[in-house]
Amino acid sequence: MNVLTAAKARLAGLVDALAVAAIAAIGAGAAMAGADATFAPALTTFTNYLEGSGGAIITVMSLAGGIIGLASGRFSLGQVAVPVATGIGVGTGVPIVTAAITATI
């Protein structure tokens, strides 16, 4: 009886594997990289905001935070480095990330 049970289990496993393979073959379609433009409007809006007034506001706020920290009497290199890095990141980082996202391979 155990041999019969083992054979039924193997057959059930084989049927399951064939069912999964058939579903995968039916559902498989061609994948087109870069053909979808679902997020293009959001990407354009976000990029324009960071490269325009939004990036300037972020940089000025970061610089103001560093100046307030310096005026309070506690000097730290981070109070100078963070605003500089923020300005560089907003100014040059956005085009680099945008180019990487929209790259055509």
Per-residue pLDDT reduced to its tens digit, 9-56: 776 777 777 777 777 767 666 555 556 677 778 878 888 887 788 878
Q: Based on the fold, state whether residues 44 and 10 are members of the same structural domain.
A: no
Number of structural domains found in the chain: 2
Q: Based on the fold, state whether residues 5 and 38 are members of the same structural domain.
A: no
Q: Is the pLDDT of residue 65 over 60?
A: yes
Look up the domain containing 69 and give its range.
34-105
Q: Based on the fold, state whether residues 56 and 95 are members of the same structural domain.
A: yes
Residue 80 has, within 13 A of its CA and on its CB side, a CA count of 5
Would you call 50 exposed, middle or buried from its count of C-beta atoms within 10 A (0-12, 13-18, 19+)? Answer: buried
Q: Based on the fold, state whether residues 11 and 60 are members of the same structural domain.
A: no
Q: Based on the fold, state whether residues 16 and 41 are members of the same structural domain.
A: no
| Alpha helix positions (H), the chain | 2-27, 40-51, 53-71, 78-88, 94-101
Q: Based on the fold, state whether residues 25 and 42 are members of the same structural domain.
A: no
Name the pTM for this structure. 0.48
Coil vs helix vs strand at 77: coil
Q: Based on the fold, state whether residues 8 and 40 are members of the same structural domain.
A: no
